[in-house]
Each structure stands twice: as structure tokens, then as C-alpha cells.
Amino acid sequence: MGTKYQGTEEATRALDTYIKLMRASESLTHRIHRHLHDVDLTISQFGVLEALLHLGSLCQSELAHKLLRTGGNMTLVIDNLEKRDLVRRERSSIDRRFISVHLTEAGRTLIERIFPRHVEAVTQAMQRLTAEEQETLSNLCRKLGSP
Amino acid sequence: MGTKYQGTEEATRALDTYIKLMRASESLTHRIHRHLHDVDLTISQFGVLEALLHLGSLCQSELAHKLLRTGGNMTLVIDNLEKRDLVRRERSSIDRRFISVHLTEAGRTLIERIFPRHVEAVTQAMQRLTAEEQETLSNLCRKLGSP
DNA sequence: GCTTGACAACTTAATATTGAAGTATTCGAC
DNA sequence: GTCGAATACTTCAATATTAAGTTGTCAAGC
């Protein structure tokens, strides 16, 4: 791969690293979420269900923040999950601006059933790296990703 | 960060690494492409223009492959670039199934003008890592991303 | 020549995504 | 108490993205 760009050594290295990072994450994303096709969930919908399962009920802005998406996006994704009766909206009585999103029984059943497949897919994908390499990657990504 | 998932050590490590990788790439993507707003280009449009600048004219399926997107997607992105007169489609006379996509003068001028900003943004983002760390990250990502 | 299979591009429908504008609600300063 | 800022969500328009299906083109085998 690599760019055809001729610049300083520093810039070339940065571009090359950046491209590899992007390719790895996009390639992994596709590989890992392939199984979602079976249950007709999109990656975003899966992300919402997983967050609700592991963090409990959240309001939309919290979900948007966790998933690095905008509020408008959350409205639509939750709309679509609600249509399928996988989540439920509930207006907060304390502060009526907030809407907390809850898993329904059907939603909990579904995400609990498919989450193990997700774990399996991620684990298998990561087996290309040793435990030490994974720790190293984790640390480097943390440095790069932190705000 | 991290997942609340209680599984084997191997699975936990894999999930944690995966999340950090995703967060790093999404966070970087946003930071690096912020300047595209000034010239009213989307990330995909920038990707097409950059590929054409550095690799020369390509047909749509080649572009889709380089950018890890579907053919249908390329059709739309190129439609939008063509509307703005930044690229030009040309049906191959040898094999009429292929359509090669070329930069127009306006397109070349634009991408040549903004590419240095991209390099600058990537270089700056990567300065959080030493040269050695970047090489390490590059290698780990290559292992993970390769098909 | 004709058929068949493969492949490139296009189309369509559904969902995602963003950014900006709009509505409702809360809270603090006065 | 009232008003303005801030917050949460919705709505809208534009673009992206995919998957599935359609059309046109080519090449190989008959």
C-alpha cells in the first residue's frame, strides 16, 4: 500500500501509519460484523443494543457520546430499533428534556444471544496478534485516540 | 473505557484492543478531515480525488477496491464530484464495460491545493507517537488488516 | 454465429450520518 | 417571577453506504 506522496520522512511515515490504521479498522469492522446479517441488525443498531446491555439504560445523548455519533443520528437508529420492539423510550419525569432508552425483553434476548458471536469474532480476528502485541496496540491507540 | 464483559482473559483483551483501535481511527478521522469543511468536500470525495491524484485515472471498480467501498457507492460519490466538475467519466473504447474516472483541471487544482493540509493534519496527529512507535503501530495494523 | 457465464456499471430501497434549524424544557441571573 | 442561556431531542436536506437486482459488454465454448 503506502502513498505515492514525496515529502519529508516524518510526513511519509505519518501518512503511511495513518493509512494502515484506517485499513485495519475498516477491514476488521467488516469481518467482525458479518454475522449481524443473520439477525438483520446494522452495526449502529448493534452498538446501541450492546451499550444498553453492558451499561444499562442510557439517554440518547449519552448513547451518542459513547458511540461517537450525533444526536440526530441516535434519533433515527433508536427509531428503527423501537419499530422492531427491541428498545423502549421513556421520558424522564425528573427532567423532561431527557429520554432514557431501555432494552425490551425481546431486545435483551436478542443481544444476549448474539453478543457471544461478537466476542468470538473479535477474539478470532485478534488472534493474529500475540497477547503482548495486543497490549502494545492498545496503548498506542489510546495515545492516538485520546481527546 | 473498556467493556463490562466478563469472559476469558483472551476475549477480554481482544475486545479491549478492538475498541481502542476503533476509537483511535474514528477519533483521528474526525480530527484529520476537519479542514475539508472549508472546501465543502466529504471524506469520500476527498478519498476519490486523492486516489486519482496519486494513482492516476482509475475505473470505478478500482476506486471502490482502493477505498474499501461498494460499486454502488462509487457511482454516487463520482456523480456528486462530476456535478461540481471536479472529475470526468470516460467510457473505455477498448472494453466498453469500464468507465475511467479522470481529474478535471478544477479537480486537480483543488486536490493539489488541499492535499498539503491533509499531510499537515496527519503529521500533527501522529506526533503523539515517536517514529518507532509509528513503525510498530504500522506493523501491527498491517498484520490485522491484511486479508 | 449463438449461448452462457462473468463482470462492470447503474438503479433502487433502506438505513446511516452529519449539520443546521427548530421545539421543548430546565436553570440561573436579575 | 421573568428572561436568556444551555440542554435534549426532533426534523430536514444532503450525502453516504450497502445489498440486491438490472443492463450492457465481453469472452469462451459449442
Nucleotides of C under 7 A from a protein CB: 7-13, 15-21, 24-27
**Protein residue nearest nucleotide C20, by CA to C1':** A72
A141 in Cβ contact with B24 (< 8 Å): yes
Q: What is the pLDDT of residue B33?
A: 94
Q: Do A140 and B147 touch (CB under 8 A)?
A: no
Q: Which of B123, B127, B133 to mutate to test the interface with A (most CBs of A within 10 A)?
A: B123
For C24, which residue's CA is nearest its C1'? A97
The answer to whether B96 faces chain A, any CB pair under 8 Å, is: no
Q: What contacts 24+ positions apart, CB below 8 Å, involve B94-103?
A: B98/B59, B98/B61, B99/B59, B99/B60, B100/B57, B100/B58, B100/B59, B101/B48, B101/B52, B101/B57, B101/B58, B101/B59, B101/B60, B101/B63, B102/B52, B102/B57, B103/B49, B103/B52, B103/B53, B103/B57
Cα radius of gyration (chain A): 19
Question: Over 80: is that where the pLDDT of B147 sits?
Answer: no
DSSP code at position A96: T
Of B7, B24, B146, Cβ closest to residue A119: B7
pLDDT (0 to 100) of residue B1: 43
Scanning A29-88 for CB atoms below 8 A from B yields 29-30, 32, 54-55, 68
Residue B146 DSSP SS3: coil
Q: Using the predicted structure, report yes or no on whether residue B2 has a pLDDT greater than 50.
A: no
Q: Does A140 touch chain B (CB under 8 A)?
A: yes
User: DSSP state, B96?
Assistant: T
**The pLDDT of residue A4:** 55
Q: What is the pLDDT of residues A60-111, one digit of tens each?
A: 999 999 999 999 999 999 999 999 999 999 999 999 999 999 999 999 999 9
Tell me: pLDDT of A1 over 50: no
In this predicted structure, what is the pLDDT of residue B97?
93
Q: What pLDDT score was predicted for residue A5?
A: 61
Q: What is chain A's mean pLDDT, rounded?
A: 94
Residue B143 to chain A, least CA–CA distance (Å):
7
**Full-model pTM:** 0.91
Tens digits of residue pLDDT in B93-110: 999 999 999 999 999 999
- How far apart are alpha carbons B32 and B38 in whole angstroms? 13
Mean pLDDT, residues A111-124 taken together? 96
Does residue A38 have a pLDDT over 70? Answer: yes
Please give the pLDDT value at position B146. Answer: 81
pLDDT at A7: 82
Read off the pLDDT of residues B22-73 as tens digits, 9 standing for 90 and up.
999 999 999 999 999 999 999 999 999 999 999 999 999 999 999 999 999 9
Q: Which residue places its CA closest to the C1' of nucleotide C16?
A: A73
Structure confidence at residue A145 as a pLDDT band (50, 70, 90): confident
CB-to-strand D contacts below 7 angstroms: A 37, 59-61, 71-72, 74-76, 78, 89, 97-100; B 42-45, 68-73, 76-77, 80, 94-97
* pLDDT for the residue A6: 66
CB-nearest partner of B25 from A14, A25, A129: A25
Chain B residue with minimum CA distance to A22:
B25
pLDDT at A2: 46
Closest-CA residue in chain A for B16?
A138
